[in-house]
Amino acid sequence: MYQKDFILRMIERFADFIAGIFGLLKKGEFDQASQAIDNAYYNFLKEDAFFFRIIPKEKLTYDLISKHNYTNGHLEILAGLFYAEAELRFAKGNITESIEFYEKALLLYEFTERESQIFSTGKQLKMTDIKIQISKLKNTTF
Per-residue pLDDT averaged across 13-37, rounded? 90
Question: Taking all residues of the chain, what is their mean pLDDT, rounded to a whole number?
Answer: 88
Contacts of 95 (CB under 8 A, 6+ apart): 89, 137, 140, 141
Summarize the chain as % helix, strand, coil (round to 5).
85, 0, 15
pLDDT at 140: 79
The model's pTM is: 0.87
The pLDDT tens digits for 61-97 are: 988 988 888 888 889 899 999 999 999 999 999 999 9
> Which region among 84-93, 111-120, 122-131 has the lowest average model confidence (pLDDT)?
111-120
First to last CA, the chain: 48
In this prediction, residue 3 has a pLDDT band, given cuts at 50, 70 and 90, of low
